């Protein structure tokens, strides 16, 4: 029973981490390897706003998300726009940026156990005899809200629909007056905000450490590859697969193997089904 | 409305468009006819500006070198180096070869994405118009674009382009791979769109028979150059056109 409950929680955490990465890749074909760094920055940003500027928690969170959006947009506007279309350079540029951000934070003294964010609501509840704290329930709630918001946004909002058009056929979207660079700016801004939302909901469960940046990046990539790059449904499904596999590994094998699960998932997927769970939709496109 | 002067396009050293001069009169249907590789699609991409994006991508990859020379003016404005999305905002909308429907989105969503540049009232009005002129789409609103037949996709592609509020609609081989029945139906629809909305249309096709009667003025392309031009009747009466395009 606790496998079920913690599996669901873990799956939602993974989905939250990965959704920003999938969004950016799905729309602009930009692999944002700075995703993990953006996640960690948000944590330190909120911490700084609370402790250095003495702002209210809620205001700090909102402010931090706005700043993340601007950072994401700036990354595209000033860096990625110059290497767009060169896949290797995109990876190098974003990974270098992520590395620079994370190691700069470490150099700046943001390390150790001192940096924590308060949980939203203290306390815990018993679900069929298993104690689950409120923060973990909030993770599930935020996950559901974010996923449904994204679904509504991309199905009913003009910009959201344009993003989907751009994701499916860039040139066809351009012919209809949708600007590729502007869509990429929006995608990067939203991707960064989503990384921020994930950080804000997940970080109160532990300390803010620089290393989390690398783990989040690996987990996001694992989820995206297993799900099929750029596919949202696939990403959510993959989040659940890897999420449960991790919890089962922790329960029956040993807890320090849980990161191995993600890496193995990447390898197995690439061997058995390189296009991922939902790569099939792309095959369909080829056929018609 | 659209004026093209001394347009030349090169892929590496191969010439794709060779010194073309042409005009599209406002409110009229202009046709471009030519065999495969005559340069029809390149011309369409050049007018809509997509060629500039292809060029940029090729440069980034270190691929093919594309050169565009010459001048294009649209409503008196020089558009030669304008971004494709800017040209679309000015009213030049391309309905591309092979339709390029958003395969994972439903018919209705395809049309909504097409309405990106339209205001709410424009979008609503055009949506009604699209379903009026292509009633077959009415029953397919929820179906994914990838599961439509070729003819249905073509209707959707034209509808999607109409949603973008074009002043100059570029139709690149709209009859490609369709049945004679569907060809006649689409040719009628194109004529109706032009007559009912006054949208200027530039249509390219390698199969001239169904399209030639509906054009006001036409150009014949061969190896990238315009070898012949004239109004519909002149082209139909020309012995070379007759033998090459009608098999008479």
Convert A143-206 into a string of H (helix), E (strand) and C (coil).
HHHHHHHHHHHHHHCHHHHHHHHHHHCHHHHHHCCCCHHHHHHHHHHHHHHHHHHHHHHHHHHC
With H, G, I as helix, E, B as strand and everything else as coil, classify residue A128. Answer: coil
- pLDDT one digit per residue (tens) for chain A, 288 residues: 888 999 999 999 999 999 999 999 988 889 999 999 999 999 999 999 999 999 999 999 999 999 999 999 999 999 999 998 888 899 999 999 999 999 999 998 877 767 888 888 888 888 888 888 899 999 999 999 999 999 999 999 999 999 999 989 999 999 999 999 999 999 999 999 999 999 999 999 988 889 899 999 999 999 999 998 878 889 999 999 999 999 999 999 988 888 899 999 999 998 888 888 876 545 444 443
DSSP state of B38: S
**CA angle at A184 for the pair B74 and B124, rounded to the nearest 5°:** 60
Exposed/middle/buried for residue B48 (C-beta within 10 Å: 0-12, 13-18, 19+): buried
A172 and B100 within 8 Å at the Cβ level: the answer is yes
And the tokens for A200?
A: 């804000």
Residue of A nearest to B83 (CA): A179
* A129 in B contact zone (CB under 8 Å): no
The whole-number pLDDT of residue B248 equals 60
Exposed/middle/buried for residue A105 (C-beta within 10 Å: 0-12, 13-18, 19+): buried
Q: Is the dihedral of CA A232, A237, A242, A244 positive or negative?
A: positive
DSSP state of B91: T
A177 and B93 within 8 Å at the Cβ level: the answer is yes
Collect all residues of chain A within an 8 Å Cβ-Cβ radius of residue B174.
Answer: none
B104 and A176 within 8 Å at the Cβ level: the answer is no
Alpha-carbon distance of A197 to A209, in angstroms, equals 17
* Cα dist from B39 to B73, B198, B204, whole Å: 20, 27, 10
Compare CB distances from A165 to B53, B93, B113 and report the shortest one's residue: B113
Confirm if B166 and B203 have CB atoms less than 8 A apart: no
Collect all residues of chain B within an 8 Å Cβ-Cβ radius of residue A82.
Answer: none
Residue of B nearest to A155 (CA): B109
- Nearest C-alpha of chain B: how many angstroms from A239? 22
Q: How many CB atoms lie within 10 A of CB B73?
A: 15
Compare CB distances from B113 to A162, A284, A288 and report the shortest one's residue: A162
> Can you say how many angstroms the Cα of residue A50 is from the centroid of all Cα atoms in its chain?
24
**Closest to B199 measured CA to CA, from B143, B158, B235, B247:** B158
Its pTM stands at 0.91
DSSP state of A116: B
- Nearest C-alpha of chain B: how many angstroms from A221? 23
Contacting A with CB below 8 Å, chain B residues are: 48, 50, 53-54, 56-57, 60-61, 83-85, 88-89, 93-96, 100-105, 109, 112-117, 146, 153, 160-161, 163-164
> Can you say how many angstroms the Cα of residue B89 is from the centroid of all Cα atoms in its chain?
16
The whole-number pLDDT of residue B91 equals 96
- Beta-carbon contacts of A25 under 8 Å, excluding residues fewer than 6 positions away, are A31, A32, A224, A229, A230
* Cα dist from A17 to A21, A68, A135, A185, whole Å: 8, 15, 16, 20
The whole-number pLDDT of residue A126 equals 86
Exposed/middle/buried for residue B50 (C-beta within 10 Å: 0-12, 13-18, 19+): buried
Residue of A nearest to B163 (CA): A176
Pairing of strands B66-74, B77-78: antiparallel
**Closest to B170 measured CA to CA, from B90, B89, B95:** B95
Q: What is the ipTM of this complex?
A: 0.93
Compare CB distances from A177 to B56, B89, B103 and report the shortest one's residue: B89
- Nearest C-alpha of chain B: how many angstroms from A219? 27
Q: Helix axis angle, A35-51 relative to A2-28, nearest 10°?
A: 110
B103 and A171 within 8 Å at the Cβ level: the answer is no
Alpha-carbon distance of A168 to B178, in angstroms, equals 24
A176 and B48 within 8 Å at the Cβ level: the answer is no
B146 and A288 within 8 Å at the Cβ level: the answer is yes
CB contacts under 8 A, A 58-77 vs B, are none
The whole-number pLDDT of residue A288 equals 39
Compare CB distances from B116 to A162, A169, A180 and report the shortest one's residue: A162
Compare CB distances from A174 to B53, B146, B161 and report the shortest one's residue: B53
Collect all residues of chain A within an 8 Å Cβ-Cβ radius of residue B46.
Answer: none
Query: What radius of gyration, in Å, describes the C-alpha atoms of chain A?
Result: 19
**Positions in chain B short of pLDDT 70:** 247-248
**Closest to A137 measured CA to CA, from A281, A234, A29, A5:** A5
Collect all residues of chain B within an 8 Å Cβ-Cβ radius of residue A86.
Answer: 60-61
* Cα dist from B63 to A85, A89, A169, B11, whole Å: 11, 16, 21, 10
Interface test with A, best of B84, B86, B93, B124 (most A CBs within 10 A): B84
Collect all residues of chain A within an 8 Å Cβ-Cβ radius of residue B50.
Answer: 171, 174-175
Confirm if B231 and B224 have CB atoms less than 8 A apart: no
What are residue B232's DSSP bridge partners? Answer: none
The whole-number pLDDT of residue B118 equals 95
Q: Helix axis angle, B180-197 relative to B150-163, nearest 10°?
A: 10
DSSP state of B206: S
- Nearest C-alpha of chain A: how many angstroms from B146? 6
Q: How many CB atoms lie within 10 A of CB A63?
A: 16
* Cα dist from B181 to A21, B188, B193, whole Å: 47, 11, 18
* A99 in B contact zone (CB under 8 Å): no
> Where would I find the H helices in chain B?
40-48, 50-61, 84-90, 107-114, 120-133, 150-163, 180-197, 232-237, 239-241
Q: Spell out the domain ranges in chain A.
A: 2-212
């Amino acid at each position: 029973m606790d496998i079920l409950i913690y599996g669901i929680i873990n799956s939602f955490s993974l989905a939250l981490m990965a959704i920003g990465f999938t969004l950016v890749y799905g729309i602009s074909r930009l692999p944002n390897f700075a995703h993990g760094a953006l996640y960690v920055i948000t944590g330190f940003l909120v911490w700084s706003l609370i402790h250095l500027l003495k702002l209210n928690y809620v205001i700090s969170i909102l402010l931090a998300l706005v700043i993340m959006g601007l950072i994401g947009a700036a990354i595209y506007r000033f860096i990625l726009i110059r290497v767009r279309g060169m896949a290797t350079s995109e990876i190098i540029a974003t990974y270098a940026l992520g590395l620079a951000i994370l190691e700069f934070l470490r150099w700046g003294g943001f390390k150790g156990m001192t940096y924590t964010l308060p949980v939203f609501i203290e306390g815990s509840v018993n679900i069929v005899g298993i104690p689950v704290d409120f923060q973990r329930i909030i993770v599930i709630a935020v996950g559901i809200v974010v996923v449904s918001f994204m679904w509504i946004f991309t199905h009913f909002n003009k910009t959201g629909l344009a993003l989907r058009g751009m994701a499916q056929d860039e040139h066809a979207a351009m012919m209809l007056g949708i600007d590729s660079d502007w869509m990429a700016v929006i995608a990067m801004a939203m991707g960064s905000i989503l990384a921020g939302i994930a950080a804000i909901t997940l970080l109160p469960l532990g300390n803010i450490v620089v290393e989390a940046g690398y783990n989040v990046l690996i987990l996001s990539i694992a989820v995206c590859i297993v799900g099929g790059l750029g596919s949202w449904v696939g990403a959510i499904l993959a989040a659940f697969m890897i999420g449960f596999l991790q919890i089962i590994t922790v329960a029956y094998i040993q807890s320090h193997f849980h990161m191995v699960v993600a890496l193995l998932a990447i390898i197995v997927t690439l061997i058995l089904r390189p296009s991922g769970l939902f790569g099939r939709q792309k095959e369909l496109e080829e056929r018609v | 409305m659209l004026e093209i002067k001394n347009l030349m396009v090169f892929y590496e050293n191969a010439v794709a468009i060779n010194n073309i001069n042409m005009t599209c009169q406002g409110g009229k249907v202009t046709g471009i006819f030519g065999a495969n590789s005559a340069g029809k699609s390149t011309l369409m991409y050049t007018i809509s500006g997509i060629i500039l994006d292809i060029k940029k991508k090729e440069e980034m990859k270190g691929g093919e070198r594309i050169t565009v020379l010459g001048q294009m003016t649209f409503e008196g404005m020089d558009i030669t180096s304008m971004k494709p999305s800017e040209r679309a905002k000015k009213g030049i909308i391309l309905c591309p070869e092979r339709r390029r429907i958003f395969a994972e989105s439903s018919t209705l969503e395809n049309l909504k994405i097409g309405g990106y540049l339209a205001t709410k009232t424009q979008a609503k009005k055009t949506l009604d118009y699209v379903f009026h002129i292509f009633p077959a789409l009415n029953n397919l609103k929820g179906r994914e674009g990838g599961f439509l037949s070729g003819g249905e996709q073509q209707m959707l592609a034209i509808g999607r382009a109409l949603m973008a509020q074009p002043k100059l609609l570029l139709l690149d081989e709209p009859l490609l791979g369709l049945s004679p029945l569907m060809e006649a139906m689409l040719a009628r629809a194109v004529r109706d769109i032009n007559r009912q909305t006054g949208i200027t249309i530039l249509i390219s096709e390698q199969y001239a028979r169904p399209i030639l009667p509906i054009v006001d003025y036409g150009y014949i392309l061969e190896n990238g150059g315009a070898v012949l031009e004239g109004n519909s009747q002149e082209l139909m009466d020309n012995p070379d056109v007759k033998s090459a395009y009608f098999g008479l």
